[in-house]
Every structure is written in structure tokens, then in C-alpha cells.
Amino acid sequence: MDREPTILASDIGGTRIKIGVVRGKRLLARAEIDARRHEGLAAALERISQVGKKLCLNNDLTWRSLTGFGLSFPGIIEPKTGKILSTPAGKFDDARHLNVPKMTEALLGLPTRICNDANAALAAEWCFGAARGQRSAVMMTLGTGIGSAAIIDGVPLRGQHGQAGCLGGHFTVSLSGQECLCGNIGCAESEASTWALPAKARAHPAFASSKLARENVLDFAIVFRAAARGDRVATELRHHAIRVWAVALVNLIHAYDPECAVIGGGVMKSCSVILPQLRRYAAKHAWTPWGKVKIKSAALGNDAGMFGVASLFSEP
């Protein structure tokens, strides 16, 4: 008899929504759909419900075998109510006015747990990935925005409104920085995330002479590639971004006293360049008189969010 609960899980991202059936560290079935974020969250939940039901049917999984529905969402989630308090700018704008647990209960007939995406990613890394076996760990996800999460003494940090631990992207790293989407000035996210990158690049005095000026879309993969070929503007942007991530990481270490820090997100496709520099900076500048924080790359890849929300059903 399998004691691990079987969970319908979904991870909502900026462009794609992942849907899966998870049992422990096994993904029994999986699908992916477009986020169509401008249609709003209510429409997305309807589609998740339809795809989830089809997924079970096509994989010989009975609906009755499901214990619950876990949802990972890129925003601040109030832990007690599952209410979404913030959404990514211009995406899923209706979410703050919805009672998501009630809606999904009606759509799916399953108890729902909803969780911030970085919290979900860390929960998965802690159960099955890079932070396994650690008592205290932090995570930083580098992508469209910068997410963070913390587990202290084996307990996921949430706070009164779900903000504790997940605002590492909005730690101040520059006194003279730009105003961030969150309202603060000089956040790690407004200095070095994918949404902030194009404006940062265009503001460089030599941008017009850079190869980057010929790109239609600017992301860190393109910047890192151009930097590796010796483009001066790209090299400076890369240097600035890694410095920002390193400073944010030291802030997370100082705030939460982890044994282990896990770095994830799409930008970590360039982890061979990023990770050694983060390690060097933290070894030099983090105040950890007891020893060194282990700084690791996320191990679980794209489906971590689904494993993370499924693991919430195993929490006491």
C-alpha cells in the first residue's frame, strides 16, 4: 500500500502552466499549456481543471485516488486563507479578487493548498533535491523576477501575510537604483532580473555600439553569450548582474542563517559562470563565523514547483 498522497499539482508561470499528478517524488502524468495570462486566473483555473481531469483519464488514474490539489503561483499568498495578495505586474490581475481555494474546490472537488512559487521550489529541493537533509536552507530563483524562500530549523518560513522569506528579490542592493515595480528603490530585482534587463542595457552609454543593440529580445542567455564573445557592454551587464545576485545572496544568508543556499531559475542555465562567482563573493563577504554556507545549483529543474506544492500535503 502506497502511503504517499497522490496530488494534482499545477505550477503557474509567466508564459506556461504545468499540470501534473505527483506521488512523493514521482510524476505520474504531466501536461503543459500556455498561460494566456491576460485572460486572468479564473480562466486559467478552468483550463487547469479540464486538463487535469483529462490527464487522469488518459493515465488510468482514478479521481478518487487524489488527495488534493496543490497550486504554485508567482505572488504573495496569505498562508491561512490561501488568498493571493499580489500578482506579477500585468499578469493574472483578477487573482486578488478570487477565492482560489473555494473556486478549485468547486471545480475539482479537491481540498486545495496554494503556495508562492519560490516557496514551492524550495520545498521540493528540500524534500528531494539540492537542500535535502539540511535543517535550514534558503533559495533564490533568478528569472523574469527574483524569488526567494527560507526554511528554518525544518519549518518553511511564511510570516503573518506570507511575505517572510520570499522578498529576497526586493532587498535593497543599491541606494541610487531605479524604482522597482514593488515601490522600493534599488531592489535586486529592479537591478538584475530579466524584466529589468532591457532598460538597464539600453541605459548603457555604449549600448548602440554593442551587438546587443541588434537583438529583438534581450535576456540573460543572450547577454551571457555576447559577453563570452567579448562584447564590452554585455560583459559589464553580466558583471553587474552577478554582483547584484551575490549581494542579494549575502543578504539572505545574513537574514536567515542557512546551512545551504540553492540557486535556481531559468538564468541558471549559465550556472557554470554564475555559481563560482557567488561562492567566491559569499566566502569573502558573508558573516558566518561558524563556517561556510553550501551554495548549490537547484537539482530538480522545471517540475520542482509541482513536487513542492504536492509536498505541502505531507506537512503536519
- Chain positions contacting Zn ion, by CB under 5 A: 170, 180, 182, 184, 187
Shorter beta-carbon distance to Zn ion: residue 180 or 226: 180
Nearer to Zn ion, 57 or 89 (CB): 89
DSSP 129-182: STTTT-SSEEEEEESSSEEEEEEETTEE---TTS-TTT-GGGSB--TT-PBPTT
Q: Tell me the closest approach of the beta carbon of residue 188 to Zn ion, in angstroms.
A: 8
Least distance (Å) between residue 251 CB and Zn ion: 13
| 137 vs 248, beta carbon nearer Zn ion | 248
Minimum CB distance to Zn ion smaller for 11 or for 189: 189
For residue 312 the three cell numbers come to 505541502
Find the radius of gyration of the CA atoms of the chain: 20
Cβ neighbours of residue 11 closer than 8 Å, sequence gap 6 or more: 17, 18, 71, 72, 117, 120, 303, 305, 306, 309
Q: Least distance (Å) from Zn ion to the CB of residue 42?
A: 27
Q: Say if strands 6-12 and 66-73 run parallel, antiparallel, or are unpaired.
A: parallel
**Adjacent-strand bridge partners of 30:** 20
Q: How far is the CB of 238 from Zn ion (least distance, A)?
A: 21
Question: Dihedrals φ, ψ of 27, to 5°?
Answer: -100, 105
Report the distance separating Cα 232 and Cα 273, nearest Å. 17
Closest to Zn ion by CB, 68 vs 186, is 186
Closest distance of CB 185 from Zn ion, Å: 8
Q: Which of 182, 55, 41 is nearest to 114 (CA)?
A: 41
CB of 298 to Zn ion, least distance (A): 22
CB of 6 to Zn ion, least distance (A): 38
CA distance 43 to 53: 16
Locate 248 and state its grid cell.
542579494
> With respect to Zn ion, which residue has the nearer C-beta, 82 or 147?
147
- Residue among 113 and 170 whose Cβ is closer to Zn ion: 170
